Amino acid sequence: MLLYRIDALDSSVRTVLNLSAVLGTEFDLVDAALAFEEMFEVDESNQLQTANALREYFDMAIDAGIIEQSLAFSDDDNDEEVFERNDSLCQSMGSIISLKGMRRAHPLYAGNCRLRFTHDSWKTSILSVMLAERKQEMHEHVAVSMERALEDESHHKIDFEKQITVLKHWKSSWSFTKASILALNIGGQLMILGLNSQAILLFDDAIDILKEMAGDEPAGVSYGGISEEVLDAIYAPELENLIKLKIAKGKAHSTLGKDQDGAQAFQSALDVSFAISVLYLIL
């Protein structure tokens, strides 16, 4: 019944709902707009027209009872502004937000708000009928748009939550190169702050991409938990990042006093290095 109601909507609204499901149960209107523009390669000259159309699509989704408005609050850098909502999408209550750089310049900035699915079943149903390749592609567009916005705001204080969100989207897009670089960067910052347990979780998140590539039951020999077929398929920079992730994981474990886990991570890095040497000798 849920899918029937979705199918009854305009194709453009369904596309926006697909993107919304990839963004998550709750998301920011400007983030959705930036990802939409990235996905359809919207240039600056068409940005306003696209923004107005996107707002109409979300209005339709709200009228259909699939999406509802939430509130977004932020007190970053004491840079707070309150905007009155006069349009049908973000009206009446207003929202305290703090957006900078390219996000501040976006046509939807003044009407920004938080949106969410009225029930998680909507998101689950939408994702269930999307092709895996389509979901990966959308996650990539979301990651690119969010990462670009973060880089534009890099002179402001570090926002770990946003960086980790970007990492999650890179992971869902199966981009080990991007996910590993970001995991090493964020994890290194967390380790400096003494948050080694959280860093380990990020390192594992990135490494899991390669494990998932082998499927549920990887065949053949594995090195450091990664199948030989996967190691043979990825490029040198990715192999280097894999080794760095395992070494960083070993350091984090050792700092926590978990010497056995640390030694295991270091041994895993050595196993991958050995496998690479063997593979190159065979070639």
The answer to whether residue 166 sits within a structural domain is: no
The answer to whether residue 168 sits within a structural domain is: no
Q: Is residue 9 located within the same domain as residue 124?
A: yes
pLDDT tens digits, the chain, 283 residues: what are they? 888 899 999 999 999 999 999 999 999 999 999 999 999 999 989 999 999 999 999 999 999 999 999 765 444 443 433 333 334 445 433 333 344 566 788 898 888 899 999 999 999 999 999 999 999 999 999 999 999 988 776 555 568 888 999 999 999 999 999 999 999 999 999 999 999 999 999 999 999 999 888 775 556 688 888 988 888 888 889 999 999 999 999 999 999 999 999 999 999 999 999 888 776 655 4
- For residues 63 and 128, give the distance between their C-alpha atoms in angstroms, rounded to a whole number: 23
The residue range of the domain holding 86 is 2-128
- For residues 27 and 264, give the distance between their C-alpha atoms in angstroms, rounded to a whole number: 39
- For residue 76, report the phi and psi dihedrals to the nearest 5 degrees: -55, 130
User: How many CB atoms lie under 10 A from the CB of residue 53?
Assistant: 13
Q: How would you class 213 by CB atoms within 10 Å of its CB: exposed for 0-12, middle for 13-18, buried for 19 or more?
A: middle
Last residue of a domain, one of 68, 97, 128: 128
The answer to whether residue 246 sits within a structural domain is: yes
The answer to whether residue 204 sits within a structural domain is: yes
Per residue in 236-262, pLDDT tens?
899 999 999 999 999 999 999 999 999
Taking only Cα atoms into account, the Rg of the chain, rounded to an integer number of angstroms, comes to 21
The answer to whether residue 191 sits within a structural domain is: yes
Per residue in 114-164, pLDDT tens?
999 999 999 999 999 999 999 999 999 999 999 998 877 655 556 888 899
Q: Is residue 116 located within the same domain as residue 193?
A: no
